[in-house]
């Protein structure tokens, strides 16, 4: 039968050519009782070339004379698999007539030819691939060795620097025990805290090698966040004021005091980012913002940002940020000192804590570095330190019935605790609808109303309340709590008859003063003219 005009599939010449001009060496062997000693029936030209034998020589040889599959167990296993599955691919070494060892990948098949079973083996010379693999392995080993050497160097250097630093700290401690003027004491305290920070930086270097080696461990303990913040801001404020710039900071007043996480790592990241902001700013100011957004029960998203009015970073320079030992200005004559490790460590630490770090910057205008990390918190009052100045709460003259309409969980809990600390009785509802329904059941002295709420927002709820027939409801003072402190929103708020507007983050003294003023004036009116 012919296949078109050109080829006859039974044409022996065609098969002879295909066989001899294949890419790989081909061996056809009988299957004897001992496969490695079985007779060779045919080989192709490539096989002869590969091993340096003539066809006649190879036909007189057995497989064991030209191949080493491995030790006895490996060899038996390969033969057993071949006999069982009728095919097997394995690696072996073939020997040439010259005694050269040639690594090969061999595919053996058991096939039937003229009712006789034979083994067809196709051997590919993988010398080149093996060489590349070997080179890669050596390069990997060399890189690992270099990395280990670098880590060791870093850890040794950190140790060497830490020792004298501990000496400095110790001497400062000793001097602090002497009789000192207030000023001297302050200076020494500051020097001590700088030494401590330096020790921390050295520890960072150690940390870096630990992170590199995947050996960094995170702590998860309860800590007073305001204490950490005080330390961080205090430290950098001094440095900043020496340069004639201010460090302003704002914390969402509803921010929990007790956090659960790794205080040291959090402090380390804040320190680095604020430190950089101070370092790269000559005029203007630095603004640090700390806030949160709610994620789940007991876990919030800690949000930090620091904005400076410094030198800024161009798009081109941005490529070098967050890379080990990399500084935007790498020249030896560069103006600013530093290790170029801070941002890398910060990024890795933030990522280890499950968060993200970002940067926005314009050359010559300044930068904003920010990060978020999920963080546990504890609102249990037993754990709230009384010394906390941020959350000092006044007491209401009289007990007040307060309803808080607020959808954000952390704000709900924090405000409730605050108001209860002041002696208020607080009910919390999630939105305008729930507020309207609770107002029909209970009389309140004041309503605290978030503006943005799902289902029914604050504006609509207030409008409905003011249009109600029952004056004991329609006349309850309403304080709007709003994220927008813009004039048009304020107008809307007063248009629908709310009595005051407190922008978030709230200012605690103003917040309590407003509540008291409104609630008591209403109380007085109610007492004078009972409805």
Positions that interact with ligand ADP (CB under 6 A): 272, 276-277, 280, 308, 310-313, 321, 327-329, 338-344, 367
Nearer to ligand ADP among residue 238 and residue 328 (C-beta): 328
Q: Least CB distance from residue 345 to ligand ADP, whole Å?
A: 8
> Can you give 225-281 as a three-state secondary structure string?
HHHHHHHHHHHHHHHHHHCCCEEEEEECCCCCCEEEECHHHHHHHHHHHHHHHHHCC
Nearer to ligand ADP among residue 310 and residue 424 (C-beta): 310
**Of 325, 491, 507, nearest in space to 418 by CA:** 507
- How many angstroms separate the CA atoms of 240 and 282, rounded? 9
Report residue 358: phi and psi, to 5°. -135, 160
Q: Least CB distance from residue 329 to ligand ADP, whole Å?
A: 6
Q: Least CB distance from residue 293 to ligand ADP, whole Å?
A: 24
- Inter-CA distances, 349 with 25, 30, 257, 268, 305, Å: 55, 64, 22, 9, 16
Local structure of 411: helix, strand or coil: helix
- Inter-CA distances, 13 with 9, 16, 106, 207, 424, Å: 10, 5, 26, 71, 103
Q: Least CB distance from residue 92 to ligand ADP, whole Å?
A: 52
Closest residue to bound ligand ADP by CB: 338
Nearer to ligand ADP among residue 309 and residue 430 (C-beta): 309
- How many angstroms separate the CA atoms of 51 and 28, rounded? 15
**Of 102, 20, 92, 96, nearest in space to 52 by CA:** 96
Distance from chain centroid for Cα 130: 38
Q: Least CB distance from residue 148 to ligand ADP, whole Å?
A: 23
First to last CA, the chain: 112
Nearer to ligand ADP among residue 252 and residue 308 (C-beta): 308
Nearer to ligand ADP among residue 353 and residue 506 (C-beta): 353
Q: Least CB distance from residue 330 to ligand ADP, whole Å?
A: 8
Structure tokens at 508: 């605690």
For tokens 């401690």, the residue is 173
Local structure of 121: helix, strand or coil: strand
Distance from chain centroid for Cα 404: 35
Nearer to ligand ADP among residue 344 and residue 373 (C-beta): 344
Nearer to ligand ADP among residue 280 and residue 377 (C-beta): 280
Q: Least CB distance from residue 327 to ligand ADP, whole Å?
A: 4
Nearer to ligand ADP among residue 66 and residue 349 (C-beta): 349
- How many angstroms separate the CA atoms of 59 and 485, rounded? 95
Q: Least CB distance from residue 286 to ligand ADP, whole Å?
A: 9
The answer to whether the bond into 505 is cis (omega within 30° of 0) is yes
Q: Least CB distance from residue 231 to ligand ADP, whole Å?
A: 19
Nearer to ligand ADP among residue 308 and residue 434 (C-beta): 308
Q: Least CB distance from residue 154 to ligand ADP, whole Å?
A: 15
- How many angstroms separate the CA atoms of 286 and 246, rounded? 6
Q: Residue 486: which residues within 8 A CB-CB, separation 6 or more?
A: none
Q: Least CB distance from residue 319 to ligand ADP, whole Å?
A: 11
Q: What is the CA radius of gyration of the chain?
A: 39
Structure tokens at 182: 């207030």
**Of 423, 451, 415, 421, nearest in space to 435 by CA:** 451
**Of 529, 485, 526, 530, nearest in space to 504 by CA:** 485
Label residue 282 exposed, middle or buried (CB < 10 Å: 0-12, 13-18, 19+): exposed
Nearer to ligand ADP among residue 204 and residue 450 (C-beta): 204
Q: Are 43 and 28 in contact (CB under 8 A)?
A: yes
Nearer to ligand ADP among residue 221 and residue 241 (C-beta): 241
Structure tokens at 363: 């050359």
Nearer to ligand ADP among residue 331 and residue 387 (C-beta): 331
Q: Least CB distance from residue 288 to ligand ADP, whole Å?
A: 12
């Amino acid at each position: 039968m012919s296949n078109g005009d050109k080829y006859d599939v039974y044409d022996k010449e065609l098969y002879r050519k295909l066989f001899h001009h294949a890419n790989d060496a081909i061996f056809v062997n009988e299957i004897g009782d001992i496969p490695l000693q079985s007779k060779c029936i045919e080989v192709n030209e490539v096989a002869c070339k590969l091993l340096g034998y003539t066809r006649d020589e190879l036909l007189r040889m057995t497989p064991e004379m030209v191949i080493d599959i491995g030790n006895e167990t490996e060899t038996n296993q390969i033969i057993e698999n071949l006999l069982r599955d009728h095919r097997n691919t394995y690696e072996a070494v073939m020997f040439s007539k010259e005694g050269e060892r040639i690594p090969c990948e061999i595919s053996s098949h058991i096939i039937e030819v003229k009712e006789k079973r034979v083994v067809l083996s196709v051997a590919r010379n993988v010398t080149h691939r093996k060489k590349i693999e070997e080179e890669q392995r050596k390069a990997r080993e060399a890189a690992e060795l270099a990395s280990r050497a670098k880590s060791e160097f870093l850890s040794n250097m950190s140790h060497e620097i830490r020792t004298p630093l501990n000496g400095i700290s110790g001497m400062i401690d000793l001097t602090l025990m002497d009789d000192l003027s207030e000023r001297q004491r302050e200076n020494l305290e500051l020097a001590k805290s700088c030494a401590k920070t330096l020790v921390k930086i050295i520890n960072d270097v150690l940390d870096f090698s630990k992170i590199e080696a995947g050996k960094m461990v995170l702590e998860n303990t309860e800590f007073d966040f305001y204490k950490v913040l005080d330390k961080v801001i205090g430290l950098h404020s001094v440095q900043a004021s020496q340069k004639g710039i201010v460090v302003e900071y704002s914390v969402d007043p509803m921010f929990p005091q007790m956090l659960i996480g790794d205080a040291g790592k959090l402090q380390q990241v804040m320190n680095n980012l604020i430190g950089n902001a101070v370092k790269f700013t000559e005029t203007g100011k630095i603004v640090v913002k700390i806030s949160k957004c709610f994620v789940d029960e007991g876990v919030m998203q800690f949000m930090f940002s620091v904005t400076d009015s410094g030198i800024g970073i161009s798009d081109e320079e941005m490529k070098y940020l967050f890379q080990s030992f990399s500084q935007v200005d790498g020249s030896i004559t560069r103006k600013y000192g530093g290790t170029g490790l801070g941002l890398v460590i910060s990024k890795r630490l933030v990522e280890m804590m499950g968060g993200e770090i970002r940067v926005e910057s314009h050359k010559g205008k300044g930068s904003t570095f920010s990060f978020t990390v999920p963080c546990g918190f504890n609102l249990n009052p037993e754990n709230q330190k009384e010394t906390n100045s941020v959350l000092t709460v006044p007491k209401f003259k009289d007990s007040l019935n307060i309803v808080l309409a607020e959808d954000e969980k952390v704000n709900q809990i924090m405000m409730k605790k605050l108001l209860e600390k002041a002696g208020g009785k607080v009910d919390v509802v999630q939105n305008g609808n729930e507020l309207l329904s609770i107002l029909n059941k209970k009389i309140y002295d004041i309503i605290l109303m978030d503006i943005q709420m799902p289902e029914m927002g604050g504006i609509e709820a207030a409008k409905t309340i003011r249009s109600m027939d029952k004056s004991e409801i329609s006349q309850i003072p309403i304080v709007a709590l709003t994220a927008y402190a813009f004039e048009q929103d304020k107008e809307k708020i007063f248009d629908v008859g709310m009595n005051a507007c407190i922008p978030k983050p709230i200012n605690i003294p103003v917040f309590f003063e407003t509540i008291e003023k409104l609630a008591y004036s209403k109380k007085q009116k109610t007492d004078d003219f009972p409805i």
